[in-house]
Structure 1
Amino acid sequence: MEALILNAILQSAVAGILSITSSGIIRTVNPMLCKMFGYEADELIGQNVSKLMGGNDRRHHDNHMARYLETGESRIIGFGREVTGRHKDGRLLPLHLSMGQFNANGETFFTGVLIDLSKQKVAEEQLTYQQARFRAVYECLPDPVIIVNANMRVSTVNPAFTRVFGYPATDIEGKTTESIFANRDDWVEECNRRGGNSLADASASARQIEFRRSGGEVFPGSVVSTIIETPDGQRLGHLDVIRDITAEKRQEAQLMQAQRMEAIGQLTGGIAHDFNNILTVVIGNVELLEMQKIEEASQTLVREAREAAEIGARLTDRLLTFGRRQLLETRHINLNEFVLGLIEILRRTIGENIDVSTVLSSDLALTKADTGEVENAVLNLAINARDAMPKGGRLVIETRNLEIKEPHSTHPDLPPGHYVALSVSDTGQGMTPQVQARAFEPFFTTKRSGGKGRGTGLGLATIYGFVKQSGGNVTIASAPGAGTKVEIILPAVRMANTATSQNGQGAQVIQGGGQRVLVVEDNDSVRRLTQRRLIELGYRVDLACNAVEALELLAVDAKFDLVFTDVVMPGGLSGLDLAREIGHHFPHVRVMITTGYAEEVLDRSDLEHMPALLRKPYSQSDLARAMARTLSAP
Structure 2
Amino acid sequence: MADRPQTPHSVVPREGEARLKAILETAVEGIITIDERGRCESINPAAERMFGYSAHEVVGQNISMLMPEPYSSEHDGYLNSYLATGHRKIIGIGREAVGLHKSGRQFPIQLSVSEIKLERGRLFTGIVHDLTEQKEAERRLVQSERLAVLGEAMTRLAHESRNALQRIQIAVEVARLHGEGNDPLATQLDAIERANDALNALLEELRNYAAPLHLERKRSSLVTIWREAWSAVGFQRSDRDVEFAEETDDELLKCHADRFRLGQVFRNLFENALAACDDPVKIRVSGYPAQLEGNTAVRVVVADNGPGMDVEQRERIFEPFYTTKAKGTGLGMAIARRIVEAHGGTIAVEVSPLGGAALELVLPVEPPRAEKPVQSD
| TM-score band w.r.t. shorter chain | 0.5 to 0.7
CA shift in 2, pair 1:178/1:268, >3 Å: closer
Which residue identity is paired with 2:16?
Q
Q: Give yes or no for the alignment of 1:296 onto 2:177.
A: yes
The letter of the residue matching 1:296 is L
In structure 1, the partner of 2:357 is: 483
CA contact (8 A) 1:368 1:495 kept: no
Cα gap change, 1:283/1:92 in structure 2, threshold over 3 Å: closer, same or farther? closer
1:429 correspondence with 2:303: no
Aligned match of 1:129 in 1, 9, 15? Answer: 15
AA matched with 1:441: E
Partners of 2:80 and 2:12 in 1: how far apart?
34
Q: What is the distance in 2 between the residues matched to 1:328 and 1:308? A: 33
CA drift at 1:277 = 1.6
Shift of 1:420: 6.3
* Structure 1 residue 279 corresponds to structure 2 residue 161: yes
Question: What is the CA–CA distance in structure 2 between the aligned matches of 1:382 and 1:147, rounded to whole Å?
Answer: 49
Task: Please say which structure displays the higher CA radius of gyration.
Answer: 1
Residues in 1 aligned to 2:329 and 2:205: alpha-carbon distance in whole angstroms = 11
Structure 2 CA distance for partners of 1:355 and 1:241, relative to 1, 3 Å: farther
Higher relative contact order (CA 8 A, sep 6+): 2
SS at match of 1:158: strand
| Kept after mapping to 2: 8 A contact 1:440/1:460 | yes
Counterpart among 110, 113, 132 of residue 224 in structure 1: 113
Q: Which amino acid letter does the alignment assign opposite residue 337 of structure 1?
A: T
Residue type matched to 2:140 in 1?
Answer: A
TM-score normalised to structure 1 length: 0.43
**What amino acid maps onto 2:177 in structure 1?**
E
Deviation digits for residues 131-156 of structure 1 (CA, Å, limit 9, x no counterpart): 454455567778454364xxx46898
Given candidates 74, 79, 86, the residue that maps to 1:190 is: 79
Distance in 2 (CA, whole Å) between partners of 1:132 and 1:440 is: 49
What are the residue-to-residue correspondences of 1:190-589 with 2, within 5 Å? Answer: 190-194=79-83, 204-207=92-95, 222-228=111-117, 237-243=121-127, 248-251=130-133, 254-255=136-137, 257-259=139-141, 261-262=143-144, 265-266=147-148, 268-282=150-164, 296-297=177-178, 312-325=199-212, 334-343=221-230, 346=233, 349-350=236-237, 352-358=240-246, 359-362=248-251, 364-365=253-254, 367=256, 369=258, 371=260, 373-398=261-286, 404=292, 423-447=301-325, 449=326, 454-467=327-340, 471-479=343-351, 483-487=357-361, 489=363
Residue of structure 1 equivalent to 2:41: 157
Equivalent residues of 1:204, 1:226 under 8 A apart: yes
The question of whether the paired residues in 1 share the 8 Å contact of 2:290 and 2:297 is answered with yes
The 2-side partners of 1:323 and 1:130 are apart by 58
Q: In structure 2, do the counterparts of structure 1 residues 398 and 276 end up closer, same or farther at CA, with 3 Å as the change threshold?
A: same
CA contact (8 A) 2:34 2:63 kept: no
**1:544-571 deviation per Cα after TM superposition (whole angstroms, max 9, x unaligned):** xxxxxxxxxxxxxxxxxxxxxxxxxxxx
Displacement of 1:244: 5.6
Q: C-alpha displacement at 1:319, in angstroms?
A: 0.7
Aligned pair in 2 of structure 1 residues 487, 298: CA closer, same or farther (>3 Å)? farther
Residue pair 2:299, 2:360 contacting (<8 A) in 1 also: no
On the 8 A contact 1:347/1:356 being kept in 2, the answer is no
Which structure 2 residues correspond to residues 165-180 of structure 1 after superposition, within 5 A?
167=57, 169=59, 171=60
Matches within 5 A, 1:25-40: none
Gaps of 5+ in 2: none
Letter in 2 for 1:225: S
Structure 1 counterpart of 2:159, one-letter code: N
Q: Distance in 2 between matches of 1:314 and 1:244?
A: 48
- 1:487 partner amino acid: L
How far is the alpha carbon of 1:445 from its aligned partner? 0.9
C-alpha RMSD over aligned residues? 5.2
CA distance in 2, matches of 1:342, 1:180: 42
- Which residue identity does 1:239 align to in structure 2? L
Return the alpha-carbon distance in structure 1 between the equivalents of residues 131 and 333 of structure 2. Answer: 24
- Name the structure 2 match of 1:410: none
For residue 278 of structure 1, report the CA deviation from its aligned partner: 0.9
* DSSP-derived class of the 1:362 partner: helix
Kindly provide the amino acid, as one letter, of the partner of residue 362 in structure 1.
Answer: E
Question: Which secondary structure state, in structure 1, belongs to the residue aligned with residue 258 of structure 2?
Answer: strand
**Number of residue-to-residue matches in the alignment:** 349
